[in-house]
Amino acid sequence: MKWKTWAIAASAVAVTAVGIGYASAWMSLSGCQDATYADIQLRNVFGRDLWGNKIVMLRSDLSAHVTGPFSVDVWYMVPRDLHGVRHRQQCQALPWRQRLGPRHDYHMM
């Protein structure tokens, strides 16, 4: 009988931790977008149109999605003529802070 109590308690703790993780990720969507946008401005990221004119990245060009507990992905596209490079910035969304993780580039043809 004692093992059933421990199993129920462990399940409740696991479900609570996952719930807190998803709630933290949902609450951190805009914070992760802000951190990614600050990183874009710091690295001076910009695109080019067909005529070679500079296209400055705007905050509205970013979109954030919850990918798991304590995990947010921020996506943005940098145009290069007719092509572009799609970037994915991972963000660790803890209840007390957001930390940027690795960035992945996807070259579109």
pLDDT at 109 over 70: no
Cα(70)–Cα(83) distance, rounded to whole angstroms? 33
Q: What is the pLDDT of residue 81?
A: 83
pLDDT at 108 over 80: no
Q: What average pLDDT does range 65-79 have in this prediction?
A: 94
Q: What is the pLDDT of residue 26?
A: 95
Q: What average pLDDT does range 87-107 have in this prediction?
A: 89
Q: What average pLDDT does range 17-22 have in this prediction?
A: 92
Cα(50)–Cα(35) distance, rounded to whole angstroms? 29
Number of helical (H) and strand (E) elements in the chain, helices listed first: 2, 6
Q: What is the mean pLDDT of the chain?
A: 90
Range in 7-11, 45-49, 58-62, 71-75 the model is least confident about: 7-11
Could you tell me the pTM of the whole model? 0.82
CB 47 within 8 A of CB 55: yes
Cα(20)–Cα(3) distance, rounded to whole angstroms? 26
Q: Hey, where are the domains in the chain?
A: 2-108
